Amino acid sequence: MQLQFWRSATLWRRLGWGAAAVVALWLLTWLSFPWAAKQLIEKQGSQALGRALTVGKVEFSPWTMELSLHDLALAGADGQPEPQVSIARIYIDAELSSLLRWGPVVDAIQLDSPHIRLAQLEPGKLDIQDILDKLGADKKEDSSGDLPRFALYNIEISDGRLALQDKVAGADHLLKDLQLKLPFVSSLPSKRQVKVQPELSFDLNGSRFASEAQSTPFAQDRKTAATLTVHDLDLKPYLPYWPASLPLKLQDAMLQARIDVAFEQHTDSVVRLSGKVQATGAKLQDLAGKDLLQWEALDIDLADVQPLAGVVKLGRVSLQKPSLALRLDANGQLLKFPEPAKPTADSAAPAPAQASAAVPAAAADP
């Protein structure tokens, strides 16, 4: 009886129709999902950000659960033609195990050429302030404080670029060639104690940065150990941010550094810095524009620096070929550092006669 059932034509027809229905469903998903996803992303994204968000093309493979978004663009502020954010491609390789884990499980995430353009219009105010305000308001409405369940593997960002136009300081900054590799980030209980080893490198205003790290971001202690390497950092692009309250003004310097950062979260946060910092070709002037101090090389070994606890322990400190210029008044008295000029109703009185004496390596010339 059972043999006749399996041999019956009715059974095979039903199996055939079932298989055809599954194939038809896959084909329908393959054909309709890209269009529906494009419409949903543009509508929901534009509503969430308060700016027009566009997507050039969406590709989806239901057989492998791979999704690719091409040519994403977020409109600039005040209708500017150049987009605020553009991404050439976002690739996501999802896993069906997401259904069993009750959270997204992604085998790979790739961001190709994410480019961001920012401008500081006023002190502390960027041209994306409207987006930040909207996102902040939406976050307050979401009262859920639970950490979502997710597991993201093989995260890669390539050819990242960030251009900042600081209209307050009158300076432009460019971060390019951003490369980030992160093996995985997971909030699932079985993965919280696993160490993550990210790699990060970029070029900032012509200076190269590279770093390596180990971290357990979702463990209770959140231990992180990172090494930051800086090669030939020219400080000239950052001189507009030199504090005006200081009696000295930096004119030139190159910075080299290799710093180990250890972070641990317990009752109090503990941050420890160690390593070596070198500043070469430094030149400082007083507020009157007179040369005051310069040196060929300054090497500082950081033994144990805890910025949050106010602890600074240094090792070896070496200063090569320093030169100090002292300014004397007509009576031979050492002049104080000039203070920043303050606008007054009356004109300033003429300055007394001055003489200057160069003191290279702390020895005055006769």
- What mean pLDDT comes out for the span 9-15? 65
Residues 69 and 215 in one domain: no
Q: In what helix (H) or strand (E) does residue 214 lie, and over which residues does it extend?
A: strand 207-215
Please enumerate, as own/partner, the contacts of 172-180 that have beta carbons within 8 Å and a separation of 24 or more. Answer: 173/204, 173/205, 173/237, 174/204, 174/205, 175/202, 175/203, 175/204, 175/205, 176/202, 176/203, 177/201, 177/202, 177/203, 178/114, 178/202, 180/155, 180/156
Per the structure, the count of domains in the chain is: 2
Residues 156 and 289 in one domain: no
Contact (Cβ atoms closer than 8 angstroms) between residue 38 and residue 58: yes
Structure tokens belonging to residue 16: 């055939």
pLDDT digits 0-9 by tens, 282-295: 999 988 888 889 99
Contact (Cβ atoms closer than 8 angstroms) between residue 214 and residue 180: no
Is there a domain that residue 95 lies in?
yes
Among 23, 90, 81, 96, CA closest to 57: 90
pLDDT digits 0-9 by tens, 300-350: 999 999 887 889 999 999 999 999 887 776 776 666 666 665 545 444 444
Is there a domain that residue 34 lies in?
yes
Residues 130 and 260 in one domain: no
Structure tokens belonging to residue 185: 């980030």
pLDDT over 90 percentage in the chain:
34
Q: pLDDT: is 211 or 352 the higher one? A: 211
Residues 54 and 85 in one domain: yes
Kindly list the distances between the CA atom of residue 8 and the CA atoms of 14, 16, 21, 22, 294, in Å, as whole numbers in the listed order.
Answer: 10, 13, 21, 22, 97
Q: Does 51 have pLDDT greater than 60?
A: yes
Residues 57 and 153 in one domain: yes
Residues 259 and 165 in one domain: no
First to last CA, the chain: 121
Residues 331 and 234 in one domain: yes
Is there a domain that residue 5 lies in?
no
- Domain assignment of residue 252, given as a range: 209-238+246-336+354-366
